Structure 1
Amino acid sequence: MPENESWEYSLYIPNDLRAVTVSRRTLRLILTMHGLIRLVDVAELLATELVSNAVRHTKGPAALRVRWSAGVLRIGAWDADPAPPEPPRPLGQLAESEEGRGLALVRACADVWGWQPLARDGNRGKYVWCELAAAA
């Protein structure tokens, strides 16, 4: 499939830590099928952090969303908790910490990241996303 075509995938996952591995492997397959293998390593790291946060810090279901458009890969995780994510701390402050590295890694590895609250059909939640631009 040509890289200039847009596409999007969603993977709905239960609140289960095993979903992190399923999400990572699914993302690898999607990117490989679309000829974007050069993005796989960083994309897997980013998806792992986003999905892990969604599963560990909320009680409901979650989803991984992957979108390719105009040379930009957007990876996002939806969860049912409308509370904003904890702001990432600088990586230097996390050297001894076992917790709180996720969004710091996302901020360090992605070109841009953000989050937005979501409300649909009476359901509330949030979507945390990041983007990687494909270098030519």
Structure 2
Amino acid sequence: MRTVSPPHTWAYALRLPHDPRAARVARMTVRSVLASHGRAEVLDAVELLTSEMVTNTYLHTNGPASLRLTALADGRLRVGLWDSHPRVPAPFGRPPHDHVPLARPDADGGRGLRLVQEYADCWGGMSLGSLGSTGAGTFDRRSGKLLWFEMSG
């Protein structure tokens, strides 16, 4: 029996430790995957938005994260990021989506999720419940949150 899948679809998953180098690893992975699939038209924007989301995960959580890149049948690219903390930040909140305020010009941070709001075609997020450990320092994937954004190409 053959499995039928729509043409030009694929998915990659990457587990990221709680490490300051995780954003760099995510950027390198995104660049490699999108270049190998001929998606240069969205490469820079997806790399930037992914890096911002992974950086926020490192700064605001204490556990690992998982990144998933998925090419959808209609040509869109979806990037999802799971982490161990259940709080869903703006702009990923409930519709009509929270808005991220402009950062002060002299601020060191506060621009990353604003970039998602400005450049992604759509985005969203959901809390998966409270933090929970399954033992041995691993986190239960039924807890935490999932944030995602999509880009057309």
Instruction: Give the structure with the larger helix fraction.
Output: 1
Aligned twin of 1:84: 88
Structure 1 alignment gaps of length 5 or more: none
1:5 maps to 2:15: no
Q: How many residues align?
A: 131
Structure 2 alignment gaps of length 5 or more: 1-5, 92-98, 130-138
Which residue, out of 25, 30, 55, partners 1:52?
A: 55
Amino acid at match of 2:117: R
1:109 maps to 2:88: no
Give the match's secondary structure for 1:27: helix
Matched-pair contact (CA < 8 Å) for 2:127–2:144: yes
Instruction: Give the structure with the larger strand fraction.
Output: 1
Pairwise CA RMSD: 2.1
Amino acid at match of 2:88: P
Q: Any residues of structure 2 matched to 1:1-136 within 5 Å, and which?
A: 4-69=7-72, 70-87=74-91, 88-91=99-102, 93-118=103-128, 123-134=142-153
Larger radius of gyration: 2
Per-residue CA distance 1:27-60 (angstroms, 9 max, x = gap): 1000011111221110110100111111111000
State how far apart, in whole Å, the 2-side matches of 1:67 and 1:80 are. 21
- Structure 1 runs (4+) deviating above 2 angstroms are 86-91, 93-96, 118-123
State how far apart, in whole Å, the 2-side matches of 1:118 and 1:33 are. 32
Give the match's secondary structure for 1:65: strand
The percent identity for this pair of structures is 42
Q: TM-score, with normalisation over the residues of structure 1?
A: 0.86
Give the match's secondary structure for 1:59: coil
Q: TM-score, with normalisation over the residues of structure 2?
A: 0.78
Alpha-carbon offset, residue 116 of structure 1: 1.0
Q: Specify whether residues 65 and 122 from structure 1 end up closer, same or farther in structure 2 by C-alpha distance, changes over 3 A only.
A: closer
